[in-house]
Copies of this chain bind each other. A is one copy, B any other.
Amino acid sequence: MTTRRVCVGGVALGGGAPVRIQSMTTVKTSDVEGVSAEIARLQAAGCEIVRGAVLDEADARAIREVKDRIGIPFVADIHFSPRLAVLSIENGADKVRINPGNIGGEAEIRMVADAVRAHRIPVRVGANTGSIEPDFLRRYGRSAEALVESALYNVGILERFGVNDIVISVKASSVPLTVEAYRLLSRRTDRPLHVGVTEAGTTETGIVKSSVGIGALLLDGIGDTVRVSLTDDPVREVYAARQILRACGLDKDYVELVSCPTCGRCRWNSMALAEKVQEYVKDIRVRAKIAVMGCVVNGPGEARDADLGIAGGDGFCMLFKKGKPFLRVTAAEAEQAFFAQLAIILEEKRQEQA
């Protein structure tokens, strides 16, 4: 399912490029200092493309200054206003997210399409369950067909006005509907797809809904860029997106920690060590597999394919390295011994992979 490629600023989307992580600012775009600081935090967390709402002329004009201060492409999100779309493009937006169907008549669409072509930027069009075109809503109800037809209708409008770099989304707050819609869409188009579950809810629920929906699609090879939507700090969205990509095997440059569920077999505090290790390795971009296992039943088996592993027994722990046990320590010494070995392994990996 290789899609066509478009470029958002310097970032390739689709056509075999890595799946890109997006998020959206919460600070008003016209607050240049504030929004740039927020974008810096997002980038540090792993965000590769950022979108900001353009609500008024001040926001549109601020894009130029914001772009001077940030290190990732900026997408302008505009509803209803062709004037703000053009102004955003003229001020350097790397992509616009608009639905031509809600931007006005032929003259307005032409105006925006001309600006898009002149600046050679892509457009994202999208349908979500709240914005299905009335025609399709009547014909298909609130369904996958309605979402896909509605999105493709908007794509068709842009195509008629000569715009060809188009990214598409079809989001619903229902996960099964989202997945069904994207599966249908991916059979209908080879344009790159922006994948997400919309209005996914508060943090915990939202992470689960986004993981199920985005994850199921990515495992099927559908999706060129992802946005996790949370009613929370957008940095949390980026972390969740990274974790989803990693779970799907699409980001391998990280320290994977496998750890046991706690169970009655567990005779030492593996949970505390696992949490500490997870926090320690969170932002390390080195490919390694580390195992913290509660007991000898599953521990050695899993730790066998880990670069470094530890499994607990009654009052002692066994460390494994490259598949072989090499150090037996008391439970009291375990943490210190493990972190010492972890530092060595990660440094070795860093040099290997440099």
Is A247 a contact of B212 with CB atoms below 8 Å? yes
Is A211 a contact of B215 with CB atoms below 8 Å? yes
A181-209 Cβ-contact flags toward B at 8 Å (1 or 0) = 00000000000000000111111111111
A260 contacts B by Cβ under 8 Å: yes
Within 8 A of B (CB), among A260-315: 260-266, 270-271, 274-275, 278, 291-294, 297-302, 304-305
Chain B residues with CB under 8 A of A35: 264
Chain B residues with CB under 8 A of A259: 199-202, 206, 231
Chain B residues with CB under 8 A of A240: 208
A175 CB to nearest B CB, Å: 5
Query: Are A302 and B130 also in contact (CB < 8 A) when A212-B244, A215-B211, A271-B231 are?
Result: yes
A24 contacts B by Cβ under 8 Å: yes
In the docked arrangement, what's the CA distance between A24 and B304, Å?
24
Chain B minimum-CB-distance residue to A220: B216
A99 CB to nearest B CB, Å: 11
Given contacts A131-B298, A202-B278, A205-B278, 16 further A-B contacts (CB under 8 A): A26-B263, A29-B264, A53-B264, A59-B264, A77-B263, A128-B298, A199-B258, A199-B260, A200-B259, A202-B257, A205-B243, A205-B246, A207-B211, A229-B260, A231-B262, A231-B294
